[in-house]
Amino acid sequence: MAIDIETRDTEKAEAPGRAAPVSDAIVALVEKARHSVVEVRGRGRGAGAGIIWGGDGKIVTNYHVVAGTGGKPQVQLYDGTRVGSTVVAENPALDLALLQVDSSNLPALPIGDSAKLRIGELVFAFGHPWGHKDVVTAGIVSGIGKVRGGHGERSAEYVRSDVRLAPGNSGGPLINARGEVVGVNSMIFGGDLSVAVPSHVVVEWLSRAGKRVYLGVGVRPARINPARENERLVTGVLVMQVDPSGPASKAGVQVGDMVLAVADQQVVDTATLKRAIAQGVADGTVELAIIRNGKLFKLEVQIAEPA
């Protein structure tokens, strides 16, 4: 049986040397994204990357990029302009820092919902590896999960991918195929896999970043030695002072209470108490685990910002 096949020239052949539509789309995505990536440099330190986050001069980067810079890292924009910045919030546990520069109308990228990422999605990483400016690498999402925090802190969520990272990529964006930021590149894991802080974690943190929460207590480190060999050492902070008009007093916290944890994060000193409060506030409240007269119980405190 003979079959006649009618062919129609519905499209013109692509001109020699012209990129395919998919390549065109990737080139356009990369070109747009590069304008939103900055270089972050501390005095006498190597450079990392940062992401223009909104049009009001906010830059998101890694905490380890700005640690030790005295809170005043230098920022270089895509066009080479150098501007000073101030660290307005930082979180070592999440490896995030928020900078403010005296510039407006900077080209920010849309923020994607990393909670909807799927394994196998195409992603791109931007940064300045080994000092090479504005480098982009591509890969796929290979894992989404949590990494256990230290000192009793809650586990941190991460996006794992096979994009190539190197020193200088830290703090740069991980972007999906729609041109949305889905993560902040942070570290290399297992030698060849890269880890990024998910964008939904960054957005949640930014909703609290820069806000000075106030508990209204004075504390010092304390511990309860085990009474028996099979019991463990209990560590926390002992409440030495309570502001009568502060939120802790209103919730029932008393002098002599031992605070073990805040929002399920272990507390061992003043620094971990402050960090746990900043990370644990939800809907303006935070839960304290307290020992009083040998009994363990929990109090919910309505956190307030200091006047």
The active-site residue out of 170, 186, 194, 199 is 170
- 98: nearest Cα among 55, 59, 64, 40: 59
Q: Diameter of the chain by CA atoms?
A: 97
The active-site residue out of 36, 95, 161, 194 is 95
243 catalytically annotated = no
95 catalytically annotated = yes
Quick check: 43 and 88 in contact, CB under 8 A?
A: no
The active-site residue out of 35, 64, 103, 269 is 64
Quick check: 247 and 302 in contact, CB under 8 A?
A: yes
Quick check: 108 and 55 in contact, CB under 8 A?
A: yes
- The Cα angle at residue 296 between residues 295 and 300, in degrees rounded to 5: 130
Known catalytic residues are 64, 95, 170
